[in-house]
Amino acid sequence: MLNTFVVYVENKPGVLTRVASLFRRRAFNIDSLTVGRTEKPEVSRMTIVVDADRDQAMRVEANLYKLVNVLFVENITGKAAISRDLAMIKVAATHDARSHVLELANVFRARVVDLAPESLTIEITGGEDKIDGLLEVLRPYGVLEMVRTGIVAMRRGGKSEAAIASVPAGSGAEPATPDDNVSYSV
Amino acid sequence: MIKTGSQILWECLEQQGVTTVFGYPGGAILPAYDALKYSNIHHVLVRHEQGATHMADGYARASGRVGVAIATSGPGATNMVTGIATAMLDSSPIVCITGQVGSKLIGSDAFQETDITGVTLPITKHNYLVTHADQVARTISEAFYVASSGRPGPVLVDITKDAQQSTCEFDGKPVTPQLPGYRPDLSPTPDEYKQALDLIHSAKRPVILAGHGIILSGAMQEVRTFAERNNIPVGLTLLGLGGFPASHPLSLGMMGMHGEAWLNTTIQEADLLIALGMRFDDRVTGNLKTYAPNAKKIHIEIDRAEINKNVKVDVALVGDLRAVLRELLPKVKSQDRHEWLAYIDRMKGDVAVRDIQNLPDNGHLYAAHVINDIWRETLGSDTIIATDVGQHQMWEAQYFKHEEPRTLITSGGLGTMGFALPAAIGVKAARPEAEVWAIVGDGGFQMTMAELATMVQEKLKVNIAIINNGYLGMVRQWQEFFYDRNYEATPLLSPNFVKQADAYGIRSVAVTQRSEVVPTVQATRKHSGPVLIDFQVEQEDSVYPMVAAGASLHEMIRRPNPLEETAADA
Strand partners, B210: B236, B276
Is the same domain home to B142 and B210?
A: no
Is the same domain home to A138 and A75?
A: no
pLDDT of residue A160: 57
By the 8 A CB rule, do B453 and B47 touch?
yes
- What stretches of B126-211 show up as alpha helix (H) in DSSP? 136-148, 161-165, 190-202
Partner-chain contact A55 B312, CB within 8 Å? yes
* Domain-located, residue A171: no
Is the same domain home to B196 and B165?
A: no
| Contacts (Cβ under 8 Å, ≥6 apart) of A65 | A73, B181, B183, B304, B305
In our burial notation (b when 16+ CB lie closer than 10 A, e otherwise), range B10-34 reads bbbbebbebebbbbbbbebbbbbbe
Instruction: Identify the burial level of B403 via C-beta atoms within 10 angstroms of its C-beta, where 0-12 means exposed, 13-18 middle and 19 or more buried.
Output: middle
B17 at A interface, C-beta within 8 A? no
Which residue stretches of chain B have pLDDT < 70? Answer: 353, 561-570
pLDDT of residue B351: 75
* Torsion sign (Cα): B432, B436, B442, B443: negative
HSE-up (13 A, CA, CB side) for residue A122: 26
* Domain-located, residue A92: yes
Last residue of a domain, one of B292, B317, B347: B347
Is the same domain home to B445 and B341?
A: no
Is the same domain home to A116 and A129?
A: yes
For residues B87 and B139, give the distance between their C-alpha atoms in angstroms, rounded to a whole number: 20
Is the same domain home to A9 and A58?
A: yes
Last residue of a domain, one of B103, B136, B169: B169
* Domain-located, residue A167: no
Q: Residue B264's closest CA among B293, B240, B235?
A: B235
Is residue A51 scored above 50 in pLDDT?
yes
pLDDT of residue B363: 82
- Per-residue HEC secondary structure of B359-425 comes to CCCCCCCCHHHHHHHHHHHHCCCCEEEEECCCHHHHHHHHHCCCCCCCCEECCCCCCCCCCHHHHHH
Is the same domain home to B80 and B211?
A: no
Share of chain A above pLDDT 70, in %: 84
Q: How far is CA B315 from CA B27, B75, B433, B438, in A?
A: 53, 46, 43, 40
pLDDT of residue A172: 42
Is the same domain home to B378 and B309?
A: no
Is the same domain home to B165 and B235?
A: no
Range of the domain at A129: 82-148
Residue B202 Rama label (left phi>0; alpha psi -120 to 50; beta): alpha
Strand partners, B158: B98, B129
Closest-CA residue of A relative to B180 is A169
By the 8 A CB rule, do B98 and B128 touch?
no
Partner-chain contact A172 B307, CB within 8 Å? no
Cis upstream peptide for B530 (omega within 30°): no
- Per-residue HEC secondary structure of B198-245 comes to HHHHHCCCEEEEECHHHHHHCCHHHHHHHHHHHCCCEEECHHHCCCCC
* Domain-located, residue B36: yes
Is the same domain home to B57 and B18?
A: yes
Partner-chain contact B179 A68, CB within 8 Å? yes
* Domain-located, residue A163: no
* Domain-located, residue B564: no
Counting runs of H as helices and runs of E as strands, what totals does chain B give? 24, 22
Closest-CA residue of A relative to B128 is A14
Last residue of a domain, one of A79, A94, A111: A79
CATH number, domain at A66?
A: 3.30.70.260
3-state helix, strand, coil in chain B (%, to 5): 45, 20, 40
Last residue of a domain, one of A37, A55, A79: A79
Is the same domain home to A74 and A90?
A: no
pLDDT of residue A176: 43
Residues of chain B contacting residue A58, judged by C-beta atoms under 8 Å apart: 307-308
Partner-chain contact B129 A166, CB within 8 Å? no
Is the same domain home to A66 and A100?
A: no
Closest-CA residue of A relative to B150 is A66
By the 8 A CB rule, do B126 and B64 touch?
no
By the 8 A CB rule, do B239 and B387 touch?
no
Out of A58, A72, A172, the one facing B187 most closely (by C-beta) is A172
Residues of chain B contacting residue A18, judged by C-beta atoms under 8 Å apart: 121
CATH number, domain at B148?
A: 3.40.50.970
* Domain-located, residue A170: no
Is the same domain home to A57 and A100?
A: no
Range of the domain at B157: 2-169
* Domain-located, residue A181: no
* Domain-located, residue B561: no
* Domain-located, residue B555: no
Size of interface A-B (CB pairs under 8 A): 59
* Domain-located, residue B119: yes
Residues of chain B contacting residue A172, judged by C-beta atoms under 8 Å apart: 183, 185-187
pLDDT of residue A173: 40
Residues of chain B contacting residue A14, judged by C-beta atoms under 8 Å apart: 117, 129
Residues of chain A contacting residue B187, judged by C-beta atoms under 8 Å apart: 172
Is the same domain home to A99 and A58?
A: no
B181 at A interface, C-beta within 8 A? yes
Strand partners, B42: B20
B303 at A interface, C-beta within 8 A? yes
CATH number, domain at A101?
A: 3.30.70.1150
* Domain-located, residue B396: yes
For residues A19 and A65, give the distance between their C-alpha atoms in angstroms, rounded to a whole number: 10
Number of domains into which chain A is organized: 2
Number of domains into which chain B is organized: 3
- What is the 8-class DSSP label of residue B545? S
Q: Residue B464's closest CA among B485, B446, B439?
A: B439
Partner-chain contact A169 B121, CB within 8 Å? no
Is the same domain home to A75 and A96?
A: no
Is the same domain home to B238 and B303?
A: yes
Number of neighbours of residue B5 by Cβ within 10 angstroms: 28
Residues of chain B contacting residue A21, judged by C-beta atoms under 8 Å apart: 121-122
* Domain-located, residue B137: yes
Partner-chain contact A169 B181, CB within 8 Å? yes
Partner-chain contact A55 B129, CB within 8 Å? no
Is the same domain home to B91 and B122?
A: yes
For residues B394 and B282, give the distance between their C-alpha atoms in angstroms, rounded to a whole number: 16
Partner-chain contact B308 A65, CB within 8 Å? no
Closest-CA residue of B relative to A58 is B305
* Domain-located, residue B75: yes
Last residue of a domain, one of A26, A54, A79: A79
* Torsion sign (Cα): B458, B459, B460, B466: positive
Out of A17, A58, A68, the one facing B308 most closely (by C-beta) is A58
Per-chain mean pLDDT for chain A:
87
Torsions phi, psi of A181, nearest 5? -90, 125
Is the same domain home to A39 and A91?
A: no
Active site residues of B: 49, 111-112, 161, 474
Q: What is the ipTM of this complex?
A: 0.91
By the 8 A CB rule, do B413 and B89 touch?
yes
* Domain-located, residue A164: no
For residues B244 and B254, give the distance between their C-alpha atoms in angstroms, rounded to a whole number: 11
A58 at B interface, C-beta within 8 A? yes
For residue A71, how far is the Cα from the chain centroid?
19
Q: Residue B118's closest CA among B109, B110, B128, B108?
A: B128
* Domain-located, residue A165: no
Is the same domain home to B279 and B384?
A: no
HSE-up (13 A, CA, CB side) for residue B397: 31
Is the same domain home to A46 and A95?
A: no
pLDDT of residue A159: 63
Q: Residue A50's closest CA among A36, A38, A66, A64?
A: A64
Is the same domain home to B483 and B529?
A: yes
- Per-residue HEC secondary structure of chain A comes to CEEEEEEEEECCCCHHHHHHHHHHHCCCEEEEEEEEECCCCCEEEEEEEEECCHHHHHHHHHHHHHCCCEEEEEECCCCCEEEEEEEEEEEECCHHHHHHHHHHHHHCCCEEEEECCCEEEEEEEECHHHHHHHHHHHHHHCEEEEEECCCEEEECCCCCHHHHHCCCCCCCCCCCCCCCCCCCCC
Closest-CA residue of A relative to B127 is A68
Is the same domain home to B512 and B472?
A: yes
For residues B373 and B443, give the distance between their C-alpha atoms in angstroms, rounded to a whole number: 22
CATH number, domain at B289?
A: 3.40.50.1220
